[in-house]
């Protein structure tokens, strides 16, 4: 779900294998935050932390670390109800997501292009970066205002690969092994669509879909797929994970999914 990035959602909300969630349905836009790898967390532990949050118990840094640890390994989605986390909520469409980092992360750009390529983190960091600040809006209703994202404009990667004349759309894959997303070629070339490496002015962590995620500023967060691993140029739009379950393919904030939220970009 949108949840920070939802990922195919859990606990009755949307999310996307790294995308945000959607109102009371399987995940949403972009990518709700997915859970990190680890043993499943018991409902009693999760509900206990929920009780602490509801009671307004302030236990300082220790409680925050405990909450973060539970969030990373919670497949139930209940930790998405916890306060904190910068206003984001976390969901995943899979029980666990592997870590990827400097040594093993790769991003492929292929399909209807003249120059297919594989990029590592160092390659992406070496490219010109763009920083944009917009609200993040989940299809389930929550919003995080003025959130900075920074990364490589998707259009720059497409231009470097040499998009062919018969191309019409772009499909995105994620290393959780389940989540997918899509944009038309026109949408993918917008200035406010990034292959993001930083969020809130820090490197994107695993729970938020790092080390690299998609960011589509004007659309509901389920479109901003987390744990991005592939960019494939296609001749037609291929509906993504949540879109195959009923979400709108063109997920403009305030103009889709039956919602009237204020625009984010």
Q: pLDDT-derived band of residue 120, with 50, 70 and 90 as boundaries?
A: very high
Residues with Cβ within 8 Å of residue 21, at least 6 apart in sequence:
1, 2, 3, 6, 9, 13, 14, 15, 27, 28, 29, 32, 80, 89, 91, 138, 139, 140, 221, 222
- pLDDT over threshold 60, residue 32: no
- pLDDT over threshold 70, residue 56: no
Q: What is the pLDDT of residue 95?
A: 80
172 vs 73, which has greater pLDDT? 172
What average pLDDT does range 155-178 have in this prediction? Answer: 97
Q: Of the ranges 47-51, 99-103, 141-145, 189-193, which one carries the lowest mean pLDDT score?
A: 47-51
- pLDDT over threshold 80, residue 218: yes
Residues with Cβ within 8 Å of residue 232, at least 6 apart in sequence:
108, 109, 110, 111, 170, 171, 172, 173
Tokens representing 27 are: 């995940």
What average pLDDT does range 178-203 have in this prediction? Answer: 97
Q: pLDDT-derived band of residue 86, with 50, 70 and 90 as boundaries?
A: low
- pLDDT over threshold 80, residue 230: yes
Q: Of the ranges 157-161, 192-196, 204-208, which one carries the lowest mean pLDDT score?
A: 204-208
């Amino acid at each position: 779900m949108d949840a920070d990035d939802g990922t195919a959602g859990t606990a009755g909300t949307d999310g996307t294998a790294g995308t945000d969630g959607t109102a009371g349905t399987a995940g949403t836009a972009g990518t709700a935050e997915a859970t990190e790898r680890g043993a499943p967390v018991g409902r009693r532990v999760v509900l206990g932390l929920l009780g602490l949050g509801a009671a307004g118990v302030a236990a300082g840094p220790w409680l925050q670390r405990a909450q973060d640890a539970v969030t990373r390994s919670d497949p139930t989605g209940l930790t998405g109800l916890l306060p904190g986390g910068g206003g984001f909520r976390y969901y995943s469409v899979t029980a666990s997501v592997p870590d990827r980092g400097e040594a093993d992360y790769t991003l492929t750009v292929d399909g209807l292009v003249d120059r297919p390529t594989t990029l590592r983190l160092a390659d992406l960091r070496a490219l010109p970066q763009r920083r944009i600040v917009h609200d993040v809006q989940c299809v389930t209703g929550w919003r995080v205002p003025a959130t900075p994202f920074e990364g490589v404009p998707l259009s720059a990667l497409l231009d470097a690969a040499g998009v062919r004349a018969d191309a019409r759309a772009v499909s995105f894959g994620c290393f959780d092994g389940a989540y997918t997303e899509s944009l038309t070629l026109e949408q993918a070339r917008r200035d406010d669509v990034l292959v993001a490496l930083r969020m809130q002015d820090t490197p994107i962590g695993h729970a938020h879909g790092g080390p690299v995620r998609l960011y589509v500023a004007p659309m509901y967060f389920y479109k901003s797929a987390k744990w991005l691993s592939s960019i494939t140029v296609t001749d037609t739009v291929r509906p993504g994970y949540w879109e195959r379950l009923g979400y709108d393919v063109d997920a403009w904030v305030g103009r889709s999914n039956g919602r009237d939220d204020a625009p984010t970009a």
